[in-house]
A and B are shown apart, each in its own frame.
Chain A
Amino acid sequence: MRNSTTGWLLIAPTLFILFITGFVPFIYVLVVSFFDWNTFAQNPEPTFTGADNFRELVFDKAFLKSIWLTLKFTAFVLISQLVIGLFLARMLLRNVPLKGLFRTIHTLPLMIAPIAVGATWRLLTVPGLGPIPHYLKSWFGIDYILSRFPDQAFATVVIMDIWHWTPLVTLTLMAGLSNLPEEPLEQARIDGASEWRIFWDITLAFLKPVLLTTIFIRLMDALRTVDEVWMLTGGGPGAETRFIGLHIWRVVFPKTDYGYGSAMSLITLYLTIVMCWLLYVAMTGMKENKA
C-alpha cells in the first residue's frame, strides 16, 4: 500500500504536466470545434453551431485533398523508410569496410531540426541558385522546378523525408536485430533453410515488436509533418504538397478560423488513432493467426 502511494507521488508531477499540456488543450480544442469563431469576422465572439463544422468538413474539397495527399505521402515514406532502413541495418551489422564512418554520416540528418532540413533542401532545389536543378538541366536536360511541377514537388518532399528519417529506422532496427536470439537461426540453418526463408519466417517474426514500434512512431510523425514541407514548398505548387498539418495551420493562423480549424484537428487525430489501431490489429492479428 505504501509502495503504491509512493509510486503515485513520484509520478504525480508528470501526470500534472501531462494534464496541463495534453488534456486541457485537447478539451479546449474539442469545445472550440463546436463554435463558429473567427476573430476577424463581423461578430468576433464564438457562436455555438453544434456539429456544423464537422458537417462542412465532409464536403470540403481542400480538406479532403490534403487528407489524401497526407495518406499518400505517409504510405510512400513509411514503406521506403522500412525497406531502406532494414537493408541498411542488416548491412551495418556485418563486417563491411568503413562501416563506422558510414554509420556516422548516415545518422547526421537525425540531428538536424526539421525546419533546417527544409531550408537546406530549398537551397539545393531553388531554380537559378540550387545545384540540383542546375545539374539536372545541364546534364540531362530536365527542367526541375518544384514550384511549377506538382509531381516533382511531391517526389522531392518524399525523398527529403526519407533522407531525414531513415536513419532513425535504421538505428531502431539495428537494435532489434542485434538482440535476436541466435539459436533459432542456427537451428534453421542446420535444417537447411534458405537465407530468404530464415529472414522471412524467423528474423521478421522476432523483429515484429520493434517493427511495430518503429512503424507507429514514423506513422504519427509522417501524418503531422509540417515544418520541412512548409519551408521547402510552402504547400505548393497550388495545394499539391499541402499536407493536413500545413492545411490546418493555414486555416487556424493566417485565416484565424479557430472553430473550423479545431474540427479539422480533431478529425485528423481521430484518423491517426484509427490508423494506428488498424495497424496494431493487423500486425498482432497476424501473429495470433500464425500461432
Chain B
Amino acid sequence: MRNHVSHWAAFLTLMCTATLTALFFAVALYAPLAQPEAGGISQKIFYFHVPAAYALYLCGAVCCVFSAAYLIRPTSSNNAWARGAAECAVYFGLVVLTSGPLWAKKAWGVYWTWDPRLTTLLLSVLIYASVVVLRVFAGDGDAERRFASALGVLGTVNLPIVHLSVRKWGGNHPTVITRGGGGIAPEMRHVLLLGFLAMTVLALLLLWIRARNARLNDRIRELEDQLSLSDLYD
C-alpha cells in the first residue's frame, strides 16, 4: 500500500514537472502574439490565467463534495479532503487574482475594475480564505469542522455565478472561448489545452498532498490523545 502511494506521488510529480515545463516553452516559443487590443505579448498570461481559474473551479468542486460528505458522514478522510481543497482553491484564486490584473493593465489600461466576474471571483476566493482561516484559528473540533464545511459548500455555490457573470451582466472580460465568442487561433488552442492539462495535474498533486497532510495530522492527534489518556490512567 505504501509503495503504491509513493508510486502515485512520483507519477503525479513527474507529470506536473513535465507539463509545466512544456507549458513554459509552448507559451514562449509556440504561442503566437495576439492583437494589441488584447494586450499584445501580455495576452500570453491567458495560458495560465484561465487554466488556473479552471483549477480553482476544480478545487472548489472537490471542497463542496467533501464538505457536503462531511456534513452527512463526519469522517476524518472527508474533512481532510475538504480542508485540502479549500487551501488549494485559495492558492489558485491568488494565481488568478495576481496574473489577471497584470494582463488587464495592458488590455484594459487599469489593474483592477469592479467587473462582475472579477468581483464575484474575489468573493469566492475570500470565502475559501475564510474557510482556511477558520480551520487554522478556530480549533479543530467537530463544531468548527461542520461550520467550515458549511462555508465550503456555500463558497462553491458562488462559482457558477462567477462563470455565468459575463453572460448575465457583461463587463470587460473577453468571451472568446465561451458560447458566442469568436474563438482563438489553432496554435493558441493547443497551448491553452496544454495549460488546462498542466493545471489539472498540478491541482491533483496539491490536493492529494494537502489532503494527505491533513489526514496525517488527524491520525497523529488521535495517537497523542490515546497517549495522554494512558498517561492519565497510569
Q: Do the two chains bind?
A: no
Interface residues of A (CB under 8 A from B): none
